[in-house]
Amino acid sequence: MKRGWRFELHDFYCINCGKRTMTLPRNAGHKKEKFHRKLLYCPYCKITINQIECRNEHEAHEFKTSFKAGVYKDECEAEKSNLDGRNRWSGEKQLA
């Protein structure tokens, strides 16, 4: 019997626009906590900002409901105020 890595696909959602930005494979044996944050580039907002990791459809639905309720608004505003030194890619725009 072969032993190999088991991977799960996790989706990342932007806290600024609420859209799914990317899907990354994760090792099934090393689970991250619910709504783990990761600093990634959002192609819709054109900025590097924290993304929320959703491990399944239930968590994605929970994130979308919370996003619409404005739960991540304060965190997003704090992230935007700290953007100055973090924009590394050309083409990224500054949010006012």
pLDDT at 90: 47
pLDDT at position 83 is 64
> Quick one: pLDDT at residue 13?
94
The answer to whether position 68 is within a domain reads yes
Residue 95 lies in a domain: no
Q: What is the pLDDT of residue 6?
A: 85
pLDDT at 11: 92
Question: How many domains are contained in the chain?
Answer: 1
Is residue 9 left, alpha or beta, with left meaning phi > 0 and alpha meaning psi from -120 to 50?
beta
* Domain presence at residue 23: yes
Query: Which has the closest alpha carbon to 35: 19, 16, 51?
Result: 51
Can you give the pLDDT at residue 32? 77
Determine, yes or no, domain membership for 89: no
Output the tens digit of pLDDT for each of the chain's 96 residues: 466 678 889 999 999 999 999 998 888 777 777 888 889 899 998 888 889 999 889 999 999 999 899 888 888 787 777 765 555 444 555 554
